[in-house]
Structure 1
Amino acid sequence: MTAISIRSANIGDAQMIADFHVKVWRHTYRDLAPTEAYAALDEQHRGKMWTEKLSSNDNSQMVLIAEVDGTIVGIGAAARSSDAIFKGRGEIKSLYVDPDFKRRGIGRALLARLATHLRSIHCQGVALSVVKGNAPAIAFYGKLNGQQVGEYTDPGPIWRSQNIVFAWDDVAILIG
């Protein structure tokens, strides 16, 4: 297997990230998301979202791309959280790995880099939310010693999903 590289994303990557995001999101949520969300959260919608994210002035934000031979195989994003459910912890906003590249350490590597970033901006821990029913992600975060610390309804742009919040107050667990 060719080596996996991880780099910071830039505004020029927005549509490429969006296309990848849609592909993996649709695979992950095909049996969980309502039909209208599945249809509406398309490449155009995600392209606008990623363009806004990558052009924002949020200095706490980091967006990463994992690649093999110039092809995206994973993405991750983190920043300070604005939602009270995260209790001041830094938030992993996105973490997606191509299904054909799972179980190769890409998710762990992205998560470690994002956690390192959140620690560097003095966040007191790391948290993320995962949609109830996303058994592979729930198992992944459990294996990484994530603690289930709450539940909430993500208002989302279209789909109000029920989510489980995982947290790591000892960030070293993720960086290790």
Structure 2
Amino acid sequence: MNDTAFRVREATAMDGQSLAEIHVETWQAAYAGLVPDDYLVRLSVDDRTRYWRELAAQRKKTQVLVAENAARQVVGFAAWGRTRSKDLPYRAEIYELYVHPDWQNQGAGRALMTAVFEEIAAAGGFNACLWVLSGNHSRFFYEAMGGQSVGQRRERFAGADLDETAYAWPDLIGWLRSVKG
């Protein structure tokens, strides 16, 4: 079930700049006070554009979906693939899920998460997880979406030790049934 206000589709290399803009603006808004300021200030849309164009074009290990509004403007994205953490027994991991600050709390995140879970289930996956900075308010979104806190870790990033929380969905098929009514 995708939210009717948003269309979710596979990202293409042509989406690179939109993904980069969302990435930079969302990081600067969501991670202020959590990630070192000098790192956030140095984030570059140009650098991120190259990264996202290449990632969207390769479609090998990481899948990238975008959410578009009614005007076909990309307002959010999600990237997922096989779980990277050997400490968690989940097949798939959402690496990134970002919605532009102007479009948050309008259903784009829910549409993206639902589409990712549908893709994971269609590929034979039955569970998924993600990591979020413990101080990031988006953790409340993941909790509202049925995510269960299943782990904690401390990671070194940009010269700082950051606390992260893992959320998991152990039964994607059941979750998808529940959101489809």
TM range (shorter): 0.7 to 0.9
For the Cα contact (< 8 Å) 2:128–2:168, is it kept in 1? yes
SS at match of 1:63: strand
Judged with a 3 Å threshold, the aligned counterparts in structure 2 of structure 1 residues 115 and 159 are, in CA distance, closer, same or farther, namely farther
For the Cα contact (< 8 Å) 2:22–2:99, is it kept in 1? no
Counterpart in the other structure of 1:27? 29
1:76 counterpart = 2:86 = no
1:121-159 superposed Cα distances (whole Å, 9 cap, x missing partner): 223411001101112x11111112211111123455776
**Which residue type is aligned with residue 23 of structure 1?**
E
> CA–CA distance in 1 between the matches of 2:158 and 2:87?
18
TM-score by length of 2: 0.84
> For residues 88-127 of structure 1, what are the structure 2 equivalents within 5 Å?
88-127=90-129
> CA–CA distance in 1 between the matches of 2:106 and 2:174?
19
For the Cα contact (< 8 Å) 2:151–2:167, is it kept in 1? yes
Counterpart in the other structure of 1:152? 153
Counterpart in the other structure of 1:130? 132
Counterpart in the other structure of 2:172? 171
Q: Percent identity?
A: 29
**Which residue type is aligned with residue 39 of structure 1?**
V
SS at match of 2:154: strand
For the Cα contact (< 8 Å) 1:148–1:166, is it kept in 2? yes
Give 1:27 deviation, angstroms. 1.0
Counterpart in the other structure of 2:63? 62
The total of aligned residue pairs comes to 173
Once superposed, what is the RMSD of the aligned Cα atoms? 2.2
**Which residue type is aligned with residue 67 of structure 2?**
A
Judged with a 3 Å threshold, the aligned counterparts in structure 2 of structure 1 residues 57 and 108 are, in CA distance, closer, same or farther, namely closer
> CA–CA distance in 2 between the matches of 1:119 and 1:31?
36
Judged with a 3 Å threshold, the aligned counterparts in structure 2 of structure 1 residues 76 and 106 are, in CA distance, closer, same or farther, namely same
- Residue segments in structure 2 that go unaligned for 5+ positions in a row: none
Judged with a 3 Å threshold, the aligned counterparts in structure 2 of structure 1 residues 62 and 131 are, in CA distance, closer, same or farther, namely same
> CA–CA distance in 2 between the matches of 1:102 and 1:152?
27
1:83-135 superposed Cα distances (whole Å, 9 cap, x missing partner): 21332420111111122222222111100110111122223411001101112
Of structures 1 and 2, the one scoring higher in RCO (CA 8 A, sep 6+) is 2
Judged with a 3 Å threshold, the aligned counterparts in structure 2 of structure 1 residues 90 and 155 are, in CA distance, closer, same or farther, namely farther
Judged with a 3 Å threshold, the aligned counterparts in structure 2 of structure 1 residues 9 and 66 are, in CA distance, closer, same or farther, namely same
